[in-house]
Amino acid sequence: MADRMSDLFAADTYADPRAEGWRGQEDKFQQGIRATPWFGEFQARYGEEPNLFDPNYDYRQAWAAGARPTVRDPGDNMLHWSSQFKGANHPNRFVNGVDTITGRRR
């Protein structure tokens, strides 16, 4: 019997409702994202895997759009994903008075 996490990540058992047509793509997504330098860097820094189901960032939509974590933030020297896929309640949505999703000042 598979453990709960295995069931959660199995292909065709989880279709992200935010990503239309995602069903069947979860395995591909999981393999790809886990192979990125960002994933390993996150694990090394925080001692755990990133929450790929975080409601404050749509990793699947970002991945499907071809976005990858390539920008290194000078504040923490870590790779970061595009702000375009942040949720409305992302803790770093607004930085120095700028909405990082739209680029507009508040």
Summarize pLDDT for 8-61 with one digit per residue, the tens. 333 333 445 455 566 678 889 999 999 999 999 999 999 999 999 999 999 999
When pLDDT is averaged across residues 75-82 and rounded to a whole number, the result is: 91
pLDDT at 8: 37
- Give the start-to-end residue ranges of the domains of the chain: 4-99
Query: Cα dihedral angle (65, 69, 70, 71), rounded to 10 degrees?
Result: 110
Q: What pTM did the predictor assign?
A: 0.74
- 12 touches 43 (CB < 8 A): no
- 41 touches 76 (CB < 8 A): no
pLDDT at 31: 93
When pLDDT is averaged across residues 94-106 and rounded to a whole number, the result is: 92
Q: Which of 104, 88, 96, 73 is nearest to 18 (CA)?
A: 88
CB within 8 A of 71, min separation 6: which ones?
Answer: 79, 80, 82
pLDDT at 94: 93
- What is the band of 74 on the pLDDT scale with cuts at 50, 70, 90? confident
Inter-CA distances, 94 with 7, 33, 50, 54, Å: 36, 26, 21, 18
- Please check the confidence at residue 82 and state whether its pLDDT lies above 60: yes
